[in-house]
Amino acid sequence: MKCVVVTGIPGVGKSTVLNTALAKAGSKFQVVNFGDKMFEIAKRENLVNTRDEMRKLEPEVQKRIQRLAARAIAEIAKRENVVVDTHCTIKTPRGFLPGLPSWVLEELKPSRIVLIEASPEEIRERRAGDETRQRDEDSIEEIELHQAMNRAMAMACAMLTGATVEIVENRTNMLEEAGDKLARCI
């Protein structure tokens, strides 16, 4: 079965673009949110109360939960085509943690990696307007660096898997266009 990985830094509008794309692409895919899977596990172990606390856990703990989540998603991918909503890198207090290290890629075997991007200014605004999450208040330069790290990571993942890499821009007031492009990628 096919696996497409969709990534983008927090606040870029990844889940919103993904929902728009799925409405267009029909129901050929099951969307699996990597963060949801990790949160289920982390909550069960009483490690966190909210999903935004997970990236503050010790890297070794995050990686253990990450591995379990990847395995659970691989089980789903045996039966159906999946789109995995996740991150190339996670910005943690101890540096950028790879969201797609080799052991995650070995489980998911993605054929394509899509990066949802926007301008740092747009991302900052979207984060500030999101009351539902505890988003980081990064500067424009920090957001730029995070997106650059994600591009580098996406190509490193392509090296390991042969996956193709696509970039979809999510410009303000152009959600339909972003959704159309993503629908063509998945």
Smallest distance from ligand AMP to CB 65, Å: 8
Helix (H, G, I), strand (E, B), or coil: what is residue 109? Answer: coil
**Nearest partner of 185 among 14, 63, 68, 9, judged by Cα:** 14
Question: 3-state SS of 110-134?
Answer: CCEEEEEECCHHHHHHHHHHCCCCC
Rule CB under 6 A: choose which of 18, 77, 82, 87 binds ligand AMP: 87
Mark residues 96-125: x for contact with ligand AMP by CB under 6 A, - for none: ---x--------------------------
* Least CB distance to ligand AMP at residue 79 (A): 21
- Confirm or reject binding of residue 81 to Mg ion (CB under 5 A): no
Question: Per CB under 6 A, does 66 bind ligand AMP?
Answer: yes
Interacting residues with ligand AMP (CB under 6 A): 10, 34-35, 38, 51, 54-55, 62, 66, 86-87, 90, 99
